[in-house]
Structure 1
């Protein structure tokens, strides 16, 4: 690990210490406390310590580290130039579905919202539970689906932490495989978008303050044209990663037979934008104070959807293999539209 990387991690540690966020940075299923002490111990270790400086911070950070590795491998496969020693990607309890970057000691500190990862995981899980899939009946009726979604969104709006919603049953079999593929693709897009800013050396144009329930951090915003460009490159990184991976680890034959990895790669980037759109629409009806914290920093998610979808279509239109089905992003949008009338009052009731 380079000296510059150590300084970047110190910047991240300073944010934790300043805002007292070590407990909030813990993953949803991990015991143990003292994240700041654990990171400090690594920083103070000898120079021959080669482990990732953020590994062990939480299970969720460990998962994020895997996605970062995939994004960097995909970037190299596309011959995109960057120095990974100058970039650190870390969890932070942001009250926003987007990731952000902060210049720090000659590099970039990418802050990924813990809540955004939770929203993507939980809402996609609810979708897979509410839908007949691979010949199996739905696990949730419509009213149960609305209840589960309302619990998740209310926890996000109230606490900035969707993991506080009542725990959902575990998925098994093919549903679990599909959830992993979709969530991982969404997380890769979130990271890839920020890497695209770093790779493109997009200038910072303004500051925005992001707020969680008990903290605030200043981040830098960029031109909207650069945001659209980062969406395009971020999606290309997700698609490149799918091409690099032969298949999912759990059941490669099933995944390969149904083209699920390609479906997930097409859906993950679009779903992050869709989730941002749903949150904006909910806030428009619910008038949740202080959300989103930097609503003007990124283009409207509807415009991002319109700009990004042709990139996905073009990628698969040029594919030499059989074109995988691309209806899933649109069906997810229709799913939210179908539930929205009942979802708004259900979230409002929980926030009252």
Structure 2
């Protein structure tokens, strides 16, 4: 007989029993984020969703995929993992709602070096909460334990959503015209973009600790940085019941200057009055601490605006009243003007009145 030890998968770093315990922990979280159309429970090879096409004249499926990025580094540093799942859902569903699509279901991919069931369950709790906020079902996902691929205690997240919109109701910006009004809906922080620069400025250049509370912040720095991305789905669909929205832009990487042109006809440009909304303290701490030029701030961060709506002139006041009634903070931040062939499609006015 051989004296060699009988090796198992666990000896190689993969704990199947921990994986099964993790599945048991997240079953109620997945059930919480469900819809009547979901036909399967967690544990199957694929998620089944009964798509009722008869509800639409000409249904079009809309999809989006994204991750959380280096914001995860803050979660690792603070050992807090119950909010990044909300970010994951938000980055996907906000991208499809701008086209008028209702998010139907969501899938996630969670990869780590060593499975820690309770920590992973915290992550899925955030994903479940994000799906509840967006009104979509958490229909499935994948958890991969890959020893040697990630530093101890670290993981990565990716997500994917599918939504639907009737072909006649797709919002693509093609109806935008000169004279339309630009409304900005407030973000509640950095959302999920610009964290590489934010960490460099705050932690390296300024030497701050995540437990510090710089002047102007209402909470410790780490808490402010981990605020989850706002999910605007329910707000947008409330507006669409009564108002015309010609175009929308989710303000993520690239900021206002690169995301708004994605929905503008080539003959149109947007002039943004940068003085029309107050800049949140966290952004000003970053700007001053890193000596960041205004143009860089507007291109790297959302700078206080998480979602932009372009609406017909004369409807903006009613829309702003509705947004306030829904608990949103929003402002009229600009207007649509004519764009010549060689002009930029977003102009930031009022920068000269702000410190560089």
Shorter-chain TM band: under 0.3
Higher helix share: 1
TM-score (norm. length: structure 1): 0.27
Say which one has the larger Rg.
2
